[in-house]
Structures are given as structure tokens and as C-alpha cells.
Structure 1
Amino acid sequence: MGKLTKKNKAFMLMILGIILLIGGIAVSISLGAKNIDINTILRSILSDGNDINTKIIRDVRVPRVLAAALVGGFLAVSGAIMQGITRNPIAEPSVMGITQGATFMIAVALVLQRINPNLVLGSFAKMIFAFLGASISGLFVYFISSRAGRKVDPVKLALAGTAMGTLLISLAMGTSMYFNLSQELSFWIAGGLTSAKWQGVNLLLIVGSVGLIGAIIMAPKITILSLGEEVAIGLGQRTNLVRFISLIIVILLTGASVSVAGNVVFVGLIVPQIIRGIVGADYKYIIPLSMLFGSVLLVYSDILARTINPPYETPIGSLTALLGVPIFIYLVRKES
């Protein structure tokens, strides 16, 4: 039998990912502090009802698992895009300071609520704050790592992103301690899906649809750019414009994710690296498969977070960090 083509590999991965995702969603919905039988779960999903079991399934477990799938997919796509436009295998939103910028602005939102008790900031308002923080940190890191506005230096990008991320998380923690908000902010720093509700899921769907459509449209240009600056220019690509539009897409996807799940790290590092190793460097495959397997990773991570130390929940960001740090170290050593 001949070798599988990239298209066949991508198709097989897609089927595997869909099976894993459906299985993970089913397991996640069935798990919880209250034991609910499968018939009740199916009835709660497929028909109307006002009993407590139906409300638990519909208003707690279903939005939580959907949020996990969307956040995981968005972060993985963001990481894939960043690795493509910078040609840097360790680029991803948390490494580049974007998630930390969004987290810092969430801390600012909490402080504003503490200062003015009459001010109530809902999911949409917090998402705006997260977008603002992601935009400021992402654009700042991008511009300080570029050389005379012509070309982004991958090494400078990683260094600037790490420094900016550390600074912003430190500022967020210091601010929360000063205003006695450590407990409220701990969720956003550690990452988790405890507070995921339908409003957050709806916002993720709206913003994410825009970001994903943009990512799919930009996929061919990102593929060319990932081959090298000179190659891309030779093929007529406006490289700075491609990078800038791609960065806006990353900010949209990352800002939405942080506003719902907090500072979940390394998802954008792990998934695109694995996908690229299997299907190659064509982003028309990498982006949809990263979305799918990012969803799979975070859905199963959330299941593990809820079951590893019952009745308490382990921060989901800690679990993704445990997976991501060894891969990060391996990639750094490989590139050095």
C-alpha cells in the first residue's frame, strides 16, 4: 500500500477527532456532583422540562462542555496562526503575552466593580475588556519585535511576549491583592470553566464565527508566509498586511476565550505542532484540524479537572501547562 496523501491523512484525522469530541462531550455531560441517568440526560436535551435535573443539564453541563470545545478550538487556531505568521514553533497566545493582556484587563474590570458597587459588568462587557487587553499586548509585542517595520524577528517576538506576559500577570496579581480581589481573580489566572453560561457560549459563537471565517480565508496566505519572507514577497504577498490581519483574528479568538475561561495556557502550542507533524504545513488543513483537536484537548482536560480531586476542581490551566511545558522545552532545545 502506498503512502497516505496529506488529504487522506487530514480526512482520517477529522473522523478521529469528531469521534473523540462526541465521546468527550457525552462523558462531560454525564459527569457531575449529581448522578443523572442517561434517559434523563437525553430527555433534558431533546425535550422541554422544568425539573431540577433538566436545569442542571441544560443550564450547567451543556454550556460548560460547549464552552470548553469552543475555547480549546479558538486557542489552538490562534496558536497555529501565530506559528505560521512568525515561523516560530513556540509562538502561541500565552507565550506571546496576549492571554495575559486579556487577563490583566479582566482584573481592571473587577477593580472598577469594586470601586463602584453600582457598576455591574456582564459577560459582554468583560469580553470587551479582554479584547482591549489582548489588543494592547498583542500589537505592542508585534511592533517592538519587528525590524524597522519590515520584518518580525521570531526571537524578539518570543522574548518580548514572555516579558510582556510576565509583567501583565504580575500587575494583575498586584492589583487584585491591593483591592482584595485575589479570590475573584484567581479563577481568571488559573483558568477554568466553572462560570461558563449560555451568554458566554453565545458570545463565543458570534465572535468565533467571525474569527474562524477570517482564519479560513487567510489560510492560503499564511501557508505561503510560513515558507519564508522572501518566498512570500516573491509570490506577491503583502507580508505585513497578512501578519496584521492574522494578528487581529488571533486577538478576537483569544480575547473571547479568556473572557469565558480565563488564562488557559499552551493549548495553542500543543495542538498545531502535532497536526503540522502529521499533515504538513498546509494551513487549509492545519486550521480546521487545530480547531477540532483543540476542542478535544480542552473537553478532556475539563473532564480530568473535575475528576482528579473530587469534590474540588483542579484549575484547567494547570493541566494544560503540565502537557505544554515539556513540549515547549523540547521545541526550544530542538530549535537551539
Structure 2
Amino acid sequence: MLPAFILVMAPAAALLLILLSIRYGAKNMTLDIVWNAVFAFDENSVDHQIVMTSRLPRAVGSLLIGAFLAVSGALMQGITRNYLASPSIMGVSDGSVFAVTLFMVLMPNAHSEFYILSSLLGSAIGAALVFGLAWLIPQGMSPVRLAILGTVIGSFLSGTANAIQTYFQVSQKLSFWYNSRLHQLDPELIKLCIPFAVAGLALSLTLTKSVSALSLGEETAAGLGIRIWLVKGLAMLAVVILTGVSVALAGKIAFVGLIIPHIARFISGSDYRWIIPVSGVLGGLFLTACDLIARFINFPFETPVGVVTALFGVPFFLYLIKTKGGEQRA
């Protein structure tokens, strides 16, 4: 069974990508250097410092962020039955960007935990604005209209965040974060995000059976005894947590949550007990591979990983609008 095979092979693929991510960059590292840096760390070695404080957190962070965004997208597509749903399109990521920017301006010396909390709050605000307006507008939950609403609200929140950081002259401080530069991931922030991420993933996996029923339609789900609004609320809570953590770590990274769930659904069928874990695995591998590609587009300079995800995501998004965007998934 292909989904099971993917999950079994995922650890080996992840280790391979982590090794490649650590080895290759502006300065290539030999296998001996990588081994010694991990198992015989010398704080006086520049190469060891690069591996442990930059390359390894970057590799692990990209795997985690890709998984979080893909799972978020799969949940959103499942509960809305909308082929175009994803955190970056539906305003969830932009809400996090807005909240973190505002927090950095108001409390520049605050502890890293507050960045995570502000990002989570921003995700909730973005989701509430988009889905609240969609509920008020006639046929607002249709895929295209919901995508338009998400784009409009997201653009407003993102533009406001840019205006705030320009007015308060914190552009330089936030530049890496706005460009999703994974090479500046904070190892301590990754550690702080783990409890939130575990909670979000656990909640996502708990809901897989209910989301499978809901993806068949609300009437069918109600007939199976599913508490529709409770499932939707808990699923959006998981989306808010996972997206908020991702944005807090590396800023907004688009299209991972759009592309990967479709690939996972193609592989796994309609059962979200497989779609959710397969999305997580493929999302992590996809973003890590994109990060590797980003290093060599303009070598030896870094290209924001969002540029690479957009190269895949924009054509895919247009394809979905053309072929499936006009109506909800059957």
C-alpha cells in the first residue's frame, strides 16, 4: 500500500535530506565534519558552530514547518471541501504576520515565547476575519469567493504589517522574517515551539476520522453522528496552532499547504486517516528540498525559499482554479 510505504520510508528520506541540507551551502561540509560536529562538538571549530547553530536547525526547522503547513492545508481542505483552501491563501498566515509585526514593535525586548503566542493569536484573527465574512456574504463559502476573500483580507493584513514596520523603522530587524529565510532559524525558538506543535499535530490526528466524514458533506457527516461545528472548530484550532508556530519560526511561506494535500489525497484516496500523516511527511520533505534548491538558484547567495515554493505553487493554483475552483469538492 503506497501511503504505508511512504510513511515507512519517511525517516530514511528525512535523514537523507537533513544530511544534504547540512552538507551543502555557501560552504560545503565534508561528512567527517558533519559527524564530528554532531557527536564530538568542538566549540572552537567554526565549521562545527556552523553545523550545530545554523545548518542543523535549518534542516530540522524546514522539515517541521513543511509538515505543519501541509497538515494545516489538509485540514482546511477537508472541513471546507474547498480545493483552494490553505493557510497562505485564506489569510491565516497573514494574520500571524500582522500580529508578530505589531508585537515586535510594541514589545521589542520580550521573550521568544511571546512571539509564538502573538503569532497564534494572529492566526486566529486572520481565520476569523476570512471565514466570518464568508459566512455573511451570499455563497461566500464557495471555493473561488473564499479564495478571493482570503486574498483580500490577507493582503490587507500583510500591507498593514508592512506599513507598521516601515513607520516604526524596524524593517531591517524584520527583513529575514518577511523573506522566509530559513538559514536564520533560532534553535531556542524551535524548542519553544515543540509543545505547541505536538498539541496541534495530536489534535489533527485525533480528528482524522471526523474530517473524513465531513469531507463527504455536512449532511452525510450529520447522518453519521458527527458534531459538525465542534469538529470544524477543533480543526481550525489545530490549523491556527500549526500555522502560528510556522510563521513564528520563519515567516510566511506560501503554497506548501495548497500543493501537498492534493498530492497526499491522490496517493491516499479520501481517507483522512492517511491524508493527514502523508501530508505531514510530504510537506516536510517538500519544503526541505525547496530550501536546498533555493541555495543554488543564485549561488553563493541565499534565495528566499518562498520564491521556490511559488515556482511550484502558482501554476498549481491556476490549474486548480481552472479545473476545480468553481465548485466545492464532491
1:176 Cα deviation from its structure 2 partner: 1.9
Match of 1:166 among 142, 155, 176: 155
Matches within 5 A, 1:40-189: 40-52=33-45, 53-113=47-107, 119-146=108-135, 153-189=142-178
Could you tell me which amino acid in structure 1 is paired with residue 150 of structure 2? G
The answer (yes or no) to whether the contact 2:22–2:29 under 8 Å persists in 1 is no
Other structure's SS at 2:184 match: coil
Q: Tell me, yes or no, if structure 1 residue 198 matches structure 2 residue 192.
A: no
Alpha-carbon distance in structure 2 between the residues aligned to 1:13 and 1:34 = 32
Alpha-carbon distance in structure 2 between the residues aligned to 1:166 and 1:129 = 19
The answer to which of 299-308 and 265-274 deviates more is 299-308
User: 2:214 matched to which residue of 1?
Assistant: 225
Give the fraction of aligned pairs with identical amino acids, expressed as a percent: 37
State the Cα RMSD in Å: 1.8
User: 1:116 matched to which residue of 2?
Assistant: none
1:154 Cα deviation from its structure 2 partner: 4.3
Could you tell me which amino acid in structure 1 is paired with residue 26 of structure 2? A
The answer (yes or no) to whether the contact 1:97–1:161 under 8 Å persists in 2 is yes
1:135 Cα deviation from its structure 2 partner: 0.9
Match of 2:22 among 20, 29, 32: 29
Aligned residues: 322
The answer to which of 85-94 and 318-327 deviates more is 318-327
Write out per-residue CA displacement over residues 257-277 of structure 1, whole angstroms, 9 at most, x where no aligned residue. Answer: 001110100100011101101
5+ residue gaps, structure 1:
1-7, 114-118
1:153 Cα deviation from its structure 2 partner: 4.8
Could you tell me which amino acid in structure 1 is paired with residue 149 of structure 2? A
Other structure's SS at 2:86 match: coil
Match of 2:205 among 205, 213, 216: 216
Q: Cα–Cα, structure 1 residues 232 and 155, in superposed 2: closer, same or farther, change >3 Å? A: farther
User: 1:242 matched to which residue of 2?
Assistant: 231
Other structure's SS at 2:182 match: coil
Alpha-carbon distance in structure 2 between the residues aligned to 1:104 and 1:194 = 22
1:139 Cα deviation from its structure 2 partner: 1.8
Alpha-carbon distance in structure 1 between the residues aligned to 2:112 and 2:129 = 26
The answer (yes or no) to whether the contact 2:73–2:85 under 8 Å persists in 1 is yes
Alpha-carbon distance in structure 1 between the residues aligned to 2:235 and 2:117 = 19
The answer to which of 185-194 and 24-33 deviates more is 185-194
Write out per-residue CA displacement over residues 110-155 of structure 1, whole angstroms, 9 at most, x where no aligned residue. Answer: 3225xxxxx413432211111111111112222222369xx95545
Could you tell me which amino acid in structure 1 is paired with residue 106 of structure 2? L
